[in-house]
Structure 1
Amino acid sequence: MYAKTGFINDANRIFEEIPEKNIVVYNTMITGLLRCRFIVEAEQLFDNMPEKDSISWTTIITGLTQNGLFKEAVDKFKEMGIEGFCMDQFTFGSVLTACGGFLALDEGKQIHAYIIRTDYQDNIFVGSALLDMYCKCRNVKYAEAVFRKMRHKNVISWTAMLVGYGQNGYSEEAVRIFCDMQRNEIHPDDFTLGSVISSCANLASLEEGAQFHGQALASGLICFVTVSNALITLYGKCGSLEHAHQLFHEMKIRDEVSWTALVSGYAQFGKANETISLFETMLAHGIVPDGVTFVGVLSACSRAGLVEKGYHYFECMVKEHRITPIPDHYTCMIDLLSRAGRLEEAKNFINQMPFSPDAIGWATLLSSCRLNGNLEIGKWAAESLHKLEPQNPASYILLSSIYAAKGKWDDVAKLRKGMREMGVKKEPGHSWIKYKNKVHIFSADDRSSPFSDQIYAKLESLYLKMIEEGYVPDMSFVLHDVEKSEKIKMLNHHSEKLAIAFGLLFIPDGLQIRVVKNLRVCGDCHNATKYISRITQREILVRDAVRFHLFKDGVCSCGDFW
């Protein structure tokens, strides 16, 4: 009782007063110490036990795992096996959680092999732990194999597989397995529903997410903060800020995740003033921000060019809230300075950082050097990125863009040759749009769609009208030394333009056209989409790898600052 209520000193006093201590008393005291994070004392007491049983070993393994000491937990499990003690479902569950915690796939496989030789292979608890371990170790194929072989599955098993898909980037599979789960009459809990909504958010699938919102309302699970937070994130990532805001205000209980989800939604949409106002309101309500909250605030400042405010919040994070900056925060600051064209200042900031930027940080600086045509700092950033990640194509592609813009085609050719020699491959750009519950994916100059003839005819018609309206193709975004007519053709067949043309053909008038792209939208496509929105009088929402762009009446919500 004393241990569970946190009065560990009183628990220890009672423990010391017991004249004859048995195994149960020792196990209880060890559990209490571990619960109160007295790790060293718990291990010493465990080592000094005159006699141990399987529960003793499981207690120490579980406690170490719960305190994040994953390797130590696995080592204790090995000792337990050497000592000849029997393991149960709780032992296996805890040690598999530990393996997933520090990505120990080899140890996890060995434990799996041992489980197969025991009577616990068909245990739901152990099977779910195996699923979770393989997913955390990013081996989805093994997780699927375990899932298929499980004779009995409960909501925990299904949720473990669903979450595993979501965490490893298989969001469509996560949605599919949720539907399979319901067909098997397994009722989701708040964690399951929140997880599938998060997968819809990653897919920017507003329609499916809205359906799950309806399910949350019908089932009563909407009252759980985990579900409401996931929905706020969904609406934010789908660009439906009014729904996110409405849901936020309808919540009876909010936590720091609720506030951060809304802050991040406004930030991604580039609404800097609204983001900052919301953040200040959050502070006024006594909600303590975390590092993720500040990533949202700093990125909002970055996308609006609010350099001084960005500096202010960065210092506020460190000095007032005692949050140690991580690479994401430094990348936001690099982005803030670079986007504002203060490249020398960004370089000085990097040189004063306690550690070198990660790949995203260098790519951010390099991207801004391309936009500003700064070859000197661009070469420095490209070389730094190449040293850090030799196989990262960004160092070649972005530097090639700078050379191409300056007409240095020999240097472009050298970079391409270097890419071939190093075996570096550029990530292809893809854009996709959802229509009638099907995702239609396009790549540049793609003719695989059965509607290709209609799409290309639509683009040609739009191009002629855009030229009449004053549109001028930006040839600097073509990295090939070819004729002007060929460059125009390349630009006009970019993946996002194909997806937008598809939307104009099939999405009914009055409905917003929603396109998602895996890379950053290029400057020419951004400019062209403004013209398209004005010519067609359609609202077009493009979510790229960086942010949202809402095009309406020839204007983009980003203010041409992204």
Structure 2
Amino acid sequence: MRTVFQASKKRLFWDACKLFDEMPQWDVVSVTALICQLTRQNRYVESFYIFSRMLEMEIKPTEYTLASLIHASTALENLNLGKQLHGFAIKTSFNSNVFVGSAVLDLYAKRNTIEEAQMVFEDTRNPNVVSYTSLICGYVKNKRSNDAMKIFRTMPEKNVVTWNAMIGGYSQTGHNEEAVNLFVEMLRENLVPTQNTFPCVFSSAGNIAAIKMGKSLHASAIKTLVNIGVFVGNSLITFYSKCGSMEDSLQVFNKLADKNIVSWNAMINGYAQNGRSKEAIEFYRDMQEKGVKPNSVTLLGLLFAFNHMGLVDDGYAYFNEARLKNPGLLEPAHYACMVDLLARSGRFLEAKRFIQDLPFDPGIGFWKALLGGCQIHMNNELGEFAAKKILDLNPSDVSSYVMVSNSHSAGGRWVSALSVREEMKERKMKRVPGCSWIEVGCEIRVFVNGDQRYGYQDEIRGVLRCFLAHVVESGSSSSLLL
């Protein structure tokens, strides 16, 4: 069938060329129309063939011709070809045209050449919403959220694609509160969200476990969308599982009309990460009964489930089955999960042998997994070995130093622990402070150690004194000083 389809496409192309050759007079309108039609059908190579014929006949292309061809080079991921067309546009004075400029800007933004994208934007006369949005996407892709926001705030006109780009950018770079707040602002601007808007917002709400806010967003999705498609549904399943509400995840899963492998994986991983390993394994078996073929994410979720239950032999069995029957499923994360499973179960000789037999060089994650197991079971000798490997592999990773220091402290090696801390000071390494947050209504309040931002210190201390007084009245002793 595929061969017939390809033959059909090829025949259509030659029919078009034949028709083109038989035209009594070639002009720029007819040539541009054919090029645009070919690019819309994803027949990019043929469009460039027609362009070469056009140049042979000395027919001067228009801005629409060049814009269409530049989009084709972007689709082909051919930066050099796009640069040649950009150079051609400069020679023919089309570079400042908004259609050509937007196409070139999109090319550079998608190929991670953001400085060139900025220059093209500045050269474009009267940039439109497409030009602005392409530049914003480029900044977002290069993790320059502040620059993206500056452009976003100065835009004379925004559409839903622009808002989606900003919300998605904040979500992908860990600015979860900002992503949710931007979505609320979008609604206040009377823009209607699309199927592409909600997954990013659900992801952000899930990352901060804001279940009340997430449920409000869920209600908004039901109200706004004609039906919740699988893409939005999968993000909802993941959101609820991150908030620990697997019952809500299951409800969304059951209501999905069209489930795919991502839907099943979201449930399996959700159960595993919430410590409900039995349900994860049962879901996997149900998935197999329904004929859904597992992938690497499925296997990883299953190994996590076995890890939580300490079922080493079962984990080994599924891992070896994949290694023998479908080795393409295995990735470094699966091997690291097996090391973690073995180390947490105290089977250190097997864990060390497993690392030595790896088909690739183990990364820092493998040694961290081994060190974590050594801390649990107080295996000081192997822990020391793993700690040395960690610091050798990444001397600039703060979390590695903290983990190694904690390992020394747990083993009573105070001199070694102090030595690691001193080295951190010498290298001017700062530990990233942990944080906690609370959801009040639909507002998220985030707190870090020594936080002075909110100005409620007296109220917070007053509540803590009430708690302490209650503890004292209950007959418990406490050395807490407020």
User: Common fold, TM-score beyond 0.5?
Assistant: yes
User: Following the alignment from structure 1 to structure 2, what is the Cα–Cα distance between the partners of residues 402 and 190?
Assistant: 46
- Is the alpha carbon distance of 1:16 and 1:272 closer, same or farther for their aligned partners in structure 2, counting shifts above 3 Å? same
Alignment of 1:207-356 (within 5 A): 207-321=212-326, 323-356=328-361
Unaligned runs of 5+ in 2: none
What is aligned with 1:9?
Answer: 10
**Which residue number in structure 2 is paired with residue 31 of structure 1?**
39
For residues 107-126 of structure 1, what are the structure 2 equivalents within 5 Å? Answer: 107-121=113-127, 123-126=128-131
1:452 aligns with 2:461: yes
Structure 1 Cα separation of the partners of residues 382 and 246 of structure 2: 37
CA distance in 2, matches of 1:462, 1:405: 29
- Contact 2:73-2:81 within 8 A present in 1 as well: yes
Counterpart of 1:512?
A: none
Question: Once the 2 structures are TM-superposed, how far is the Cα of residue 186 of structure 1 from its aligned partner?
Answer: 0.8
Listed one character per residue, the Cα deviations across residues 58-100 of structure 1 (whole Å, up to 9, x for unaligned) are 4454344335x36446544554446546256565555545545
Amino acid at match of 1:302: N
- SS for the counterpart of 2:275 is coil
Tell whether the 8 Å contact from 1:363 to 1:394 is kept in structure 2 after alignment: no
Please tell me whether Structure 1 or Structure 2 has the larger radius of gyration of its CA atoms. Answer: 2
Q: TM-score, normalised by structure 2?
A: 0.84
Cα deviation for residue 372 of structure 1 reads: 1.9
Correspondence for 2:75 among 62, 66, 69? 66
Q: Which of 127, 133, 153 pairs up with 2:132?
A: 127
Aligned length: 463
Cα displacement (A) at 1:57: 4.8
Identity %: 29
Gaps of 5+ in 1: 469-487, 499-562
- Tell me if structure 1 keeps the 8 A contact 2:86–2:104: no
Letter in 2 for 1:118: T
Structure-1 separation of matches of 2:254 and 2:425: 54
Structure 1 counterpart of 2:75, which letter? Q
Cα deviations by residue, 1:239-273 (Å, 9 ceiling, x for unpaired): 00001101111111212222222122111112222
CA distance in 2, matches of 1:98, 1:430: 40
Q: Counterpart of 1:27 in structure 2: which amino acid?
A: I
**Counterpart mapping for 1:376-395 below 5 A:** 376-395=381-400
Residues 156-207 of structure 1: CA deviation (Å, up to 9, x unaligned): 1111111111111111111111111111111111211232122111111100
Amino acid at match of 1:86: F
CA contact (8 A) 1:8 1:32 kept: no
Q: Secondary structure at the match of 2:362?
A: coil
Distance (Å, rounded) in 1 between the aligned partners of 2:471 and 2:241: 31
Distance verdict in 2 for CA 1:171–1:191, change over 3 Å: same
Q: CA RMSD in A?
A: 3.5
1:171–1:203 contact (8 Å) kept in structure 2: yes
Q: 1:194 and 1:342, CA in 2 relative to 1: closer, same or farther beyond 3 A?
A: same
Partner SS for 2:444:
strand
Structure that is richer in helix per residue: 2
Displacement of 1:378: 2.1
**How far does residue 307 in structure 1 lie from its aligned partner after superposition?**
2.0
Structure 2 letter corresponding to 1:381: A
* Structure 1 stretch displaced more, 164-173 or 454-463: 454-463
- TM-score normalised over the length of structure 1: 0.73
Residues 17 and 49 of structure 1: CA distance in aligned 2, closer, same or farther (over 3 Å)? closer
- The 3 A distance-change label for structure 1 pair 16 and 222 is closer
Equivalent residue in structure 2 for 1:402, among 407, 410, 426: 407
